Amino acid sequence: MKKPSPLVEITGTGRFLPDDIVTNDDLAEHLDTSDEWIQTRTGIRERRIAPPDMGAAYMGAAAARKAMEQAGVEPGEVDVIILATATPDRWLPSTACDTQALLGCSNAVAFDVIAACTGFIYAMSVAECYVAAGRAEVALVIATEKMSSIVDWEDRSTSVLFGDGAGAVVLRPANGSARGILSSHLGSNGDLADLLYRPGGGSAVPLSQQVLDEKSHLIRMEGREVFKHAVRCMADSCHVALQNAGLTVDDVQLLIPHQANIRIIAATAKYAGLPMEKVFVNVNRYGNMSSATVPVALDEADEEGLITPGSNVLTVAFGSGLTWGAMALRW
Ligand code: UT7
């Protein structure tokens, strides 16, 4: 198969993590849980929690500023902002528009993509289309999540899993460069929506006292079922994305999987055919930051020198929807 040439390059990455660290022991002070259970079942040791007055737009803008600085892009040069979030600052307007205002990107068109934990890969594929089609010279992709605002802090089966943070990348036309997006693969299955969702508080079941009393505006998850689908879908998606890129697993220098649970990461790597030495892991430090996990990991992997120019990087994610997707990149 002919190897595709990238049409779109990543020219900058950035991340933002709130300062406040909440350890498993901190959670065990008011929940029937333990550091031992959380570490054994999830690999999570601690997570960052944003202060009450810090929203997704603030965190997204902070990550975006770093990506723009690395890319040498001024706010006025950004043509499109595509922002993934499951935790918008408010229902109207989009968090992309709130972030645009914070950044001063007054020439950009800005909109949100909702695909939960797969949001970054979905947003990247939309941005790739914009840039490849010549509709944008500079695209800003942001994934930002304040998961602490949508978990039930009295539910030990979900609250211990999540954390807050944001990541961002700048995309530009590859113009003949060998670096950039090689391929992607996306999937979704709405029949399984109720495995991981927020039942109330939207237009189908508007916010009411009953919603608040039942806490149905907060995350509900069938953990074991989600686990099984996550591993299968992510491993399959990795194979398709690699095939579309004309690569094999042996060509991959680093797998950057969605960071939900170390056991899911290890099982996905195994079924995808990659040893753990080639897998990036930071779930121990941040927990599950939904769509933000992959861009935060990408920025850290770059900073740590784990990926260098020419590296083939495979990113993969899975989440509510259900949604999943993988993207092969040449760094
Ligand atoms: O971002 C994408 C979406 N999310 C995911 O990918 C998450 C997918 N699911 C998972 O990661 C795992 O299913 C969990 C970490 C959520 C749960 O791990 P598990 O090994 O599947 O545990 P379980 O749900 O089967 O629960 C086992 C036991 C239960 O007790 P019994 O019924 O065996 O007595 C739970 O009540 O562990 C109990 N448990 C806890 N115990 C202490 C559940 N949560 C906790 C907790 N601390 N925090």
pLDDT at 1 over 60: no
Q: Whose CA is nearest to atom 3 of ligand 1?
A: 319
* 24 CB near ligand 1 (under 6 Å): no
What's the mean per-residue pLDDT of the chain?
Answer: 97
Q: Give mean pLDDT, residues 247-264.
A: 97
Q: Which atom of ligand 1 is nearest to the CA of 258?
A: 1
Residue 217 annotated as catalytic: no
User: Counting every residue, how long is the chain?
Assistant: 331
| Dist. CA 231–CA 227, nearest whole Å | 6
One domain, residues 245 and 260:
yes
Q: Are 211 and 310 members of one domain?
A: yes
Examine the pLDDT at 26 and tell me if it is beyond 60: yes
How many Cβ atoms from other residues are within 10 Å of residue 252's Cβ?
21
**pLDDT tens-digit readout, 56-87:** 999 999 999 999 999 999 999 999 999 999 99
What single DSSP character describes residue 326?
E
**Closest-lying ligand 1 atom to the alpha carbon of residue 290:** 1
Could you identify the atom of ligand 1 that is nearest to the CA of residue 33? 47
282 Cα: distance to centroid of ligand 1 (angstroms) = 19
Residue 2's pLDDT band (cuts 50, 70, 90): low
Percent of the chain beyond pLDDT 70?
Answer: 99
Mean pLDDT of 287-310: 97
* Nearby residues of 274 by Cβ (< 8 Å), 6 or more positions away: 249, 252, 255, 314
Give residue 157 CA to ligand 1 midpoint distance, Å: 6
Residue, of 5 and 251, whose pLDDT is higher: 251
| In a domain? residue 2 | no
Q: How far is the CA of 156 from the centre of ligand 1 (A)?
A: 9
Q: How far is CA 92 from the centre of its chain?
A: 22
DSSP 156-194: HHHHTTB-EEEEEEEEEE-TT-S-EEEEEEEEE-GGGGG
Range of the structural domain that residue 286 is part of: 181-330
Q: Each residue of 136-184: pLDDT tens digit?
A: 999 999 999 999 999 999 999 999 999 999 999 999 999 988 899 999 9
| Domain harbouring 222, CATH code | 3.40.47.10
Q: 289 with 219, same domain?
A: yes
- Look up residue 301 and give its two tokens: 């992997």
